[in-house]
Structures are given as structure tokens and as C-alpha cells.
Amino acid sequence: MSPTQILVHDLISRHSVTPHDAGCQQIIGARLAALGFSCETVESGPPDFRVTNLWALRQGAVDDAPVLMFAGHTDVVPTGPLDQWHSDPFVPTVRDGRLYGRGAADMKTSLAAMVVAVEEFLAARPQPRGAIAFLLTSDEEGPAHDGTVKVCDLLAARRQRLDWCIVGEPTSTATLGDVIKNGRRGSLSARLTVRGVQGHIAYPQLAKNPIHLAAPALADLAQISWDAGNAHFPPTSWQMSNIHAGTGATNVIPGELVVDFNFRFSTESTPEQLRQRVHAVLDRHALDYSIDWTLGGEPFLTPPGALSKALQAAIREETGAQAQLSTTGGTSDGRFIAKICPQVVEFGPINASIHKIDEWVEVNAIDPLKNIYRRTLEALVA
């Protein structure tokens, strides 16, 4: 196996289910320290959900040199039913050209590729002009309250310079290098409670059915065009994910209706605008209601620039693919990093198996991914 493949195997074998790091950051930190990185462990969170973060920085040879940061997460999602896996999810296993294991695609292959890319780059250029940094967390797959966001707050307080960041999320779709994420939509969730009056279903005049009362308002919300999107983002979408009312009895009008919904929103809308428009609809229908809002993340966008162009060129040189810039998909820790770094993109292996049973990465894509990261280093900080 190549050095990158060996490191991937080592990382997959660690049971780093959120929020546990299981020693992954120690492995990576030791290798970075040997290259001259200053490494700092930042722990956060309550005792029963302790999060481990790694911040590592290697200064450049030139004062006030640009900084390229690699970012990612060492935690993985739970395995799901073990009896449905064809091999132990924490025993890296190669079958038919694929490496199987929890975290193979999301995102231990990217982490290994980043580390070995930096090792190779510094072996060829021991004193590069620019600086290199790593930000790793064990809280990306969890609530994300004590991970990357905490380190970003710390770096902002220190006025740490960051110019470019590559997050190792699995972004490729059909082949390695076909998609780079240069932004993500925002996520705004809410739980709506509509109150009525419970009563016997045979005497509706003595009750107020919150399902009947809320249905016209929900229909209106489902029909709204929230914005038209723009050149980088699709239009903002509103979707109900859960709706519940009733006591379980068929002869009782319920006293309340609870609806969970979510906005995935573009840079054309703000959270406050979306909240105001929802309240306006509910108020117009004269509902007795309350809403608990949760802002999961604001949208971010990196317009085409030095980072995306360098990464696209590296992909083209390594694989021949012409990478497309995209903002589709869910949220990522890029939303936190974008607040302190002007150019943030995400790039990694094929994402077809992420979070699934028998998660995998193509073996013949592991070293090309490493080479793409190394070529990007050569273009930006050499």
C-alpha cells in the first residue's frame, strides 16, 4: 500500500463515532509536528459530550505570507445495524477495487490525503513561501456546537490570518474531481405549534380543530416562491419534515398540531426575512400559535478566485476532469470557516456511499486525491 492508503487504513480502524476522536488527531498531530507544525489541542463541550479539536500551523518563510488551511473532521456517524455490513465497519477491507469502512468517504480518506500531500510538498520544498494550517474537529457529524465554530472563534480573537481553506468533504459525484463545492445554502429550521381546543369528534361545535385551522396556512406556505436564487444558488426551498396531532384515539379532536419545517436558503434571503414572512402568513390566518426557530447555518459563497482556479487546475492536471463549481447539498463546517477566511471550498472523493451501510472509497482514487491537494499547495504557497 502507498503511504496515503496506510494512513487511511489506520484512521478507519479508529472507532471515532461523534463526538469521539479515538486518537485520530493524535496520529495526525504527531506527523504534523514532525514537519515543524505547532499543534494545539482545543477541547470543548460538557463531560458527557467532550469534543476534541486540533489546530496546527506551520509558518511560511516570508513574513505576512498567505496561509492555506486544510480543514475536516475525524468523527464519523454511527454504523447502523452491524449485521447489514459485509465486513466490520472499523476493519478497513478492500473488495473489488473499493476500500470499505465507516469514514472511508466521509472523510478519513481526505484527511490522510491532506497529511501525505503536505509531507510530500515539504520534502520537496522545505521552506515554502506561504504558511500551511490544519483545523480538525470531532464534532462535525454531531451538534457542531463545540467543534470548528469554537476554534474559529479562537482564531478570530487571535486575528489569525487565513487566505484559503480546503474542506475535505466528499464532493465528487461520478468521478473524482467532477465537483467542487464553493458554497452552501443556509439552513433554518422551526417547530410550529398551532393550538386549538380538544373535544369529542361528535361535537365539533364545542372544539376547535387545529388541523383544520392550520391546513390553509400550511398550503399557502408550500406555494410561496421565497426567492429566485441566483447564478450560484437555486431558489430557497421550504419543506415540512414532520407533522403530528392527535391522542391516538379516533374520536378525539386534538388540542394542538405540531409541524417541523426547514428552509434551505440562498444568499438572496436572510433568516430574518424568512421568519417575518412565515409569521405574516400565520397571522393572516389568525392562528393561535408559537414557533421555536433554529438557525443551523447561514449560506456562504466563494466566487471563482485564486483558490478555486488552483484546485481546478490541479484536478485537470491529475485526472483530466473539468471540475464544476456547485453549492448543492447540505451544510458543512465551511459555514463557520467562511466567517474568518475569504476563500473556502470543499473537495474530496465520491460521495455516493456516505452515511450508508458499506461506506466505501475507490482505492485507485486515494493517491490521485493526495496529488491534487499537493498540486494545489504547489500553486498557492510554494
Contact assessment for residue 170 and residue 351, using Cβ atoms and an 8 Å cutoff: yes
Q: State whether the Cα torsion 14-375-380-169 is positive or negative.
A: negative
Contact assessment for residue 66 and residue 380, using Cβ atoms and an 8 Å cutoff: yes
CA distance 4 to 110: 10
Phi, psi of 301, rounded to the nearest 5 degrees: -145, 130
CA distances from 235 to 160, 176, 288, 328 (A): 35, 27, 30, 11
User: Of residues 75, 139, 141, 163, which has the active-site annotation?
Assistant: 75
CA distance 101 to 90: 6
> Mapping DSSP to helix (H, G, I), strand (E, B) and coil, where does residue 249 land?
coil
CA distance 342 to 337: 9
User: Of residues 106, 120, 140, 163, which has the active-site annotation?
Assistant: 140
Residues 6+ apart with CB under 8 A from 144: 333, 336
Residue 140 designated active-site = yes
CA distance 153 to 167: 18
CA distances from 299 to 3, 61, 165, 183, 255 (A): 36, 35, 16, 7, 37
DSSP conformation class of 172: B
- By DSSP bridging, strand 289-297 and strand 186-195 are antiparallel
Start-to-end Cα distance in the chain:
28
Q: Which residues are catalytic?
A: 75, 140
